[in-house]
Amino acid sequence: MTEDAVVDGPDQELLTIGAFAARARLSAKALRLYDRLGLLAPAHVDEASGYRYYRAGQVEQARLVAMLRQLDMPLARIAEVVGAGDGPAAAGLLGAYWADVEARVAGQRTLAEYLRGRLSGRSSEMYGKFTVETVEVPAQVVISEKRHTLADELPAWIGAALGRLEEAARECGGMAGVPYVAYHAEVSMESDGPAEACVPVADEAAARAWAERRGRAWETAVRVEPARRLAYTRITKAQVAHPQILAAFEAVEEWMAARGLTATGPCRELYFADWEASGPGDPVCDVAFPVS
């Protein structure tokens, strides 16, 4: 086989890498990269010369890979789209990826606006949107599940962990208070906490028996939380998203500092409403600090 194109039917025409690159409007370097990444393999490689040949029918696939890379799509997801072929399945994979991108950009846009407010000295204006109050919480028996997790995994883990604990509460005399998540250290994309999902229950003896059966699975524990005073602000489902929730935590801290109050335990989020049934503007969560 020579460097010239070899014709073997309309879409079966074999092209040298140079000819194929020109037809696909890509560089030979890009085609070698796609081959190395497993995204677009040559139709034939000459064993003697090492020349790569592509079929004319691969042009559209090459252009598709190039355009998907322009969307900053991860290589694994590009492989899924290409593997799905043309049609609804591939379009659905692309749509799912782009929805993820838009959600991430929306979060970054909100974070940028939040940081601009802080950097421009408008913190008090942001904090003024939150009403902070205190509430006395009696001593509670709590079953819990602790985990080191980064911010991107946190929402899914909270839902799953609270679901497991609420199910377990049935064995422990039933729920006796609002489920909450306590943060023993910062949870972000660089810091993994840990965070602790907690559910108050009615029967301490049954709770300890449950924990004994569970052993160390899911890092479960039982403890008696002493009576506490909480400083809190109530937020909507939309405000639970990062970074809106940061402003809520900081508003409570600002309120505490102005009144000489000190945090006596980890900050927490108390989820008192049905998350799935709530809309973006519905109150669902109290952001709180134990104080003295």
* CA torsion through residues 138, 288, 174, 172, sign: negative
- Give the C-alpha separation, 171 to 206, whole Å: 7
Element (H, E) at 236: strand 228-236
Q: Do 57 and 12 touch, CB atoms closer than 8 A?
A: yes
Axis-axis angle for helices 17-24, 59-70 (nearest 10): 60
Which range (62-66, 80-84, 116-120, 274-278) has the least confidence? Answer: 116-120
- Is pLDDT above 50 for 3? no
Over residues 194-219, the mean pLDDT reads 88
Which range (21-30, 41-50, 122-131) has the least confidence? Answer: 122-131
Taking CA 145 as the corner, what is the angle to CA 243 and CA 174, rounded to the nearest 5 degrees?
A: 110
pTM over the 0.75 mark? no
- Give the C-alpha separation, 254 to 269, whole Å: 17
pLDDT tens for 28-78 read 898 988 888 888 889 888 888 888 899 988 898 888 888 998 899 988 899
Residue with tokens 């399945």: 89
**Residue 213 identity:** R
H-type helices in 177-271, by residue range?
Answer: 204-214, 237-240, 244-258
Query: In Å, what is the CA distance from 212 to each residue of 178, 219, 223, 233, 251?
Result: 23, 12, 13, 36, 40
- Give the C-alpha separation, 153 to 227, whole Å: 31
Q: Look at residue 207 in the predicted model and tell me its pLDDT.
A: 95
Which range (16-30, 115-129, 170-184, 217-231) has the least confidence? Answer: 115-129
Say how many C-beta atoms besides its own lie within 10 A of residue 11's C-beta.
Answer: 11
pLDDT tens for 133-189 read 999 999 999 999 999 999 889 989 999 999 999 999 999 999 999 999 999 999 888
- Is pLDDT above 70 for 13? yes
Over residues 101-105, the mean pLDDT reads 82
Going by their DSSP bridges, the two strands 132-137 and 44-45 should be labelled as unpaired
- Give the C-alpha separation, 19 to 53, whole Å: 9
Name the band, by pLDDT with cuts 50, 70 and 90, for residue 1: very low
Over residues 185-212, the mean pLDDT reads 93
Percent of the chain residues past pLDDT 70, beyond the cut = 92
Which range (19-33, 78-92, 107-121, 189-203) has the least confidence? Answer: 107-121
- Give the C-alpha separation, 279 to 286, whole Å: 16
Cα end-to-end distance, the chain, whole Å: 84
Query: In Å, what is the CA distance from 59 to each residue of 5, 29, 69, 70, 290?
Result: 14, 15, 16, 17, 63
| Residue 212 burial by Cβ neighbours in a 10 Å radius (0-12, 13-18, 19+) | exposed
The radius of gyration computed from the CA coordinates of the chain, to the nearest angstrom, equals 28
Over residues 231-257, the mean pLDDT reads 88
Query: In Å, what is the CA distance from 185 to each residue of 133, 166, 195?
Result: 24, 24, 7
Name the band, by pLDDT with cuts 50, 70 and 90, for residue 280: confident
Q: For the chain, how long is the longest CA-to-CA vector?
A: 85
